[in-house]
């Protein structure tokens, strides 16, 4: 679990593409000094990473970018969400604080201790959360400057069986969940995703905002800038991999084709 060379990577796409594929939860990397603050032993930490990591999503985004008619840009988190979760609110607005999983987690997916609750999250927020948020904001603004708009497609996965940390785990768990925001997800973006994934998984296999809802938009733009549109793609893991934390299967190719079609449908040619 050595630290990668940099906390995140922005991979350029076509100069005029508005699309930014965002992969926030696909890494297992934890820097050594962060690992020291986690109370789990090594075996328990590996099991937790199996459950909490959106395995193979960076590879999915890369494959889709190669297939897309116009290459999207990709912003990939190279650190585990057990370092910081860049998609959480960093304050009391975050509902996942109720289960110890705000921007800096203190509990595991099974609601067991991960960090001492009295630990100050500020050093991790300053070292990792705020620089990540700043870089994502800049990436979005660069797409606006180049294309007049930014389309964030958030790439996630989720387990077939609910985990104890889930606040809304009792609802349907379709093969593909589309997470939306009332301000930032226009009907045409949602419809494009329904077509791309529905053609491959059946339209009954597509859900909206269940078991996870919403989508990521940088706070500078959130609820304020309609030039930024966004959609979350949550893929049930049994469609493409062995759970938990196992290898990818042939379903990953099908998902890459669907994601590439979605990218192409929202990108001018």
pLDDT tens-digit map of 61-110: 999 999 999 999 999 999 999 999 999 998 889 899 999 999 999 999 99
Whether residue 28 contacts residue 49, with contact meaning beta carbons closer than 8 Å, is answered with: yes
Place of tokens 């991999």: 241
Whether residue 154 contacts residue 108, with contact meaning beta carbons closer than 8 Å, is answered with: no
- Asked if residue 134 belongs to a domain, the reply is yes
In whole angstroms, what is the distance from residue 134 CA to residue 28 CA?
22
- Asked if residue 221 belongs to a domain, the reply is yes
Give tens-digit pLDDT for 129-179: 999 999 999 999 999 999 999 999 999 999 999 999 998 888 999 999 999
- CA atoms in the 13 A half-sphere facing the CB of 193: 25
pLDDT value of residue 117: 86
CATH number for the domain including 27?
A: 3.40.630.40
Paired tokens of 247:
């290898």
Domain that holds residue 113: 8-241+262-266
- Asked if residue 1 belongs to a domain, the reply is no
Q: Are strands 176-179 and 206-208 parallel, antiparallel or unpaired?
A: parallel
Paired tokens of 121:
């999250």
Paired tokens of 170:
């009792």
- Asked if residue 68 belongs to a domain, the reply is yes
In whole angstroms, what is the distance from residue 39 CA to residue 242 CA?
27
pTM of the entire predicted model: 0.96
Give tens-digit pLDDT for 45-64: 999 999 999 999 999 999 99
Q: What totals of helices (H) and strands (E) does the chain contain, helices first?
A: 7, 7
The confidence band for 3, taking pLDDT boundaries of 50, 70 and 90, is very low
- Asked if residue 3 belongs to a domain, the reply is no
Percent pLDDT > 90 in the chain is 92
262 Cβ contact list (under 8 Å, min separation 6): 153, 192, 193, 196, 197, 233
- Asked if residue 256 belongs to a domain, the reply is no
Domain count for the chain: 1
Does the structure show a pLDDT above 70 at 5?
A: no
Percent pLDDT > 70 in the chain is 98
- Asked if residue 96 belongs to a domain, the reply is yes
- Asked if residue 251 belongs to a domain, the reply is no
């Amino acid at each position: 679990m050595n630290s990668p060379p940099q906390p995140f990577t922005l991979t350029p796409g076509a100069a005029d593409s508005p699309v930014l594929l965002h992969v926030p939860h696909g890494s297992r990397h934890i820097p050594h000094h962060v690992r020291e603050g986690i109370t789990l032993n090594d075996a328990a930490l590996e099991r937790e990473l199996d459950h909490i990591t959106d395995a193979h999503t960076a590879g999915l985004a890369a494959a889709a970018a190669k297939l897309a008619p116009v290459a999207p840009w990709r912003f990939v988190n190279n650190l585990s969400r057990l370092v910081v979760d860049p998609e959480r609110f960093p304050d009391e607005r975050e509902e996942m604080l109720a289960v110890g999983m705000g921007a800096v987690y203190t509990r595991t997916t099974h609601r067991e201790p991960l960090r001492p609750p009295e630990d100050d999250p500020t050093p991790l927020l300053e070292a990792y959360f705020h620089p990540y948020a700043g870089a994502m904001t800049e990436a979005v603004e660069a797409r606006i400057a180049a294309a007049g708009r930014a389309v964030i497609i958030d790439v996630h996965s989720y387990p077939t069986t609910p985990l104890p940390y889930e606040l809304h785990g009792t609802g349907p768990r379709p093969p593909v969940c589309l997470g939306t925001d009332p301000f930032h997800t226009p009907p045409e973006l949602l419809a494009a995703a329904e077509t791309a994934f529905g053609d491959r998984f059946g339209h009954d296999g597509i859900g909206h905002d269940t078991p996870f809802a919403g989508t990521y938009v940088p706070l500078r733009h959130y609820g304020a800038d309609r030039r930024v549109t966004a959609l979350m793609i949550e893929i049930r893991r049994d469609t493409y991999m062995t759970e938990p934390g196992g290898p990818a299967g042939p379903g990953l190719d099908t998902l890459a084709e669907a994601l590439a079609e979605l990218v192409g449908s929202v990108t001018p040619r």
